[in-house]
Amino acid sequence: MASWKVRGGRQLIGRVRISGSKNAALAVLAASVLATGPVVLENIPRVQDVEVTLNILHSLGVGGHWEEAGLLRLEVPEKIAGSIPFAEARRIRASSLLLGALLAKKGEAHIPLPGGCNIGLRPLDLHLKGLAAMGAAARIAGGQVLASGHDLHPAKIYLDFPSVGATENLVLAACRVPGQTIIENAAKEPEIVDLASFLNAMGAHVRGAGTDVIRVEGGFELGPARHTVIPDRIEAGTYMLAAVITRGRVTVENVIPLHLQPVTAKIQELGARVEEAGETLTITGPERVRAVNVKTMPYPGFPTDLQSPMLAVLALAAGTGVVVETVFENRYQVAEELQRMGAQIKIEGQTAVVIGQPKLWGAEVRVPELRGGAALLLAALAAEGESRLTGVEGINRGYEDCLAKMQALGAEIVSEVS
């Protein structure tokens, strides 16, 4: 278990380059299976979830290596022979995306029920219902998802919830189905748009990504492509909130400000100043944040992945903030750890009432999962005295070079490998 010792009280000052989007990269890696030939992917973050997905692709017979930082060169065979390694695939949620890709590529897919963060049950019912509408026989047995369908047909699918993963899986499956498949109430996240632009670069015909109706004209051969993944809006939002909580001044570089609109608006409500200049945003934290209310929603609402870091910020606000989590059913685990640092948080179902305190105090805390880990890091940076975060592997799953980036901004963090 690796841990970080953090001395709080330092303002974060400086510039930080935001890496490529973990979640866009995971979807694009799954989609690369549909190609045949060389695929070059740029701005891919070197984080554990990407490395795990790469290992899975290698097991399927896809050749791939890092050519330089952020640049992956893949060689995709016409036929996918291998099977997915159970142990690896269980570790991450994104392995569920191989369902649509493998169904489309070889007419069948056996994937272990994916693991991922323990932020909720994370069922796959919407994925399976959509694939069944296209004629796939999909069921869950023995801890695996078994899907087959050699003559899928186009369908009009309405998603009960704009699920990111279900939207991605259905778009991937539809790419190889001749005719027009329509997905209604589709997720509108920027990562969906990025996936569609990669698929279209390979020769697919995906229209409407970013809106709630996506139309896929399937059945075209997909060939080699080169794609640069969008910046990670959640990593960017995390550093923006780090500037706020430490009363610092941080410029995040290589971002798409449009993708951060809901976050920027909320940060201004907290009393911070935000200056936009091209692909950068500069955040100047206030002396003390104002309490605000937050309700997480599918894009373009406030992102659920920044809900935990927001709890940390509100823990030091002048007043009481109310947070409502509408996307995942179990995403307040970090509240217990924040309370060890003096945070006053009451959880009632999907609502967290955060009574802002003048100070937080350093403590020994455990990283529960990826975004909870980010919240604990932000709280430790602002707390009085020293904290120790154990299980920081949970942070490295989704934040590239987090330790180095934070240290470069002035954070006093020392890595301890026990």
**Residues ≥6 apart with Cβ < 8 Å to 9:** 382, 383, 384, 385
Q: In the bound complex, what is the minimum distance in angstroms from residue 397's beta carbon to ligand EPZ?
A: 8
Q: Are 185 and 117 in contact (CB under 8 A)?
A: no
Which residue lies nearer to ligand EPZ by CB, 32 or 304?
304
Which residue lies nearer to ligand EPZ by CB, 3 or 163?
163
Which residue lies nearer to ligand EPZ by CB, 356 or 398?
398
**Closest of 416, 411, 330 to residue 10, by C-alpha:** 411
Q: In the bound complex, what is the minimum distance in angstroms from residue 161's beta carbon to ligand EPZ?
A: 5
Q: Is 117 part of the annotated catalytic residue set? A: yes
Q: In the bound complex, what is the minimum distance in angstroms from residue 114's beta carbon to ligand EPZ?
A: 8
CA–CA dist 57, 61 (Å, integer) = 7
CA–CA dist 240, 12 (Å, integer) = 10
Q: Strand 386-390 to strand 2-7: parallel, antiparallel, or no bridges (unpaired)? A: antiparallel
Catalytic residue, candidates 6, 29, 39, 117: 117
CA–CA dist 221, 123 (Å, integer) = 31
Which residue lies nearer to ligand EPZ by CB, 66 or 328?
328
Q: Annotate 245-280 with b (16+ C-beta within 10 A) or e (fewer).
A: bbbbbbbbbbbebebbebbbebbeebbbebeeeeeb
Q: In the bound complex, what is the minimum distance in angstroms from residue 178's beta carbon to ligand EPZ?
A: 26
SS3 138: strand
Q: Are 12 and 410 in contact (CB under 8 A)?
A: yes
Q: In the bound complex, what is the minimum distance in angstroms from residue 304's beta carbon to ligand EPZ?
A: 5
183's tokens: 């997905």
Q: Which residue is nearest to ligand EPZ (CB)?
A: 165
Which residue lies nearer to ligand EPZ by CB, 123 or 178?
123
The contact set with ligand EPZ (CB under 6 A) reads: 23, 26, 93-94, 117, 120-127, 161, 163-166, 187, 304-305, 327-328, 370-371, 398
The residues annotated with a catalytic role in the active site are 117
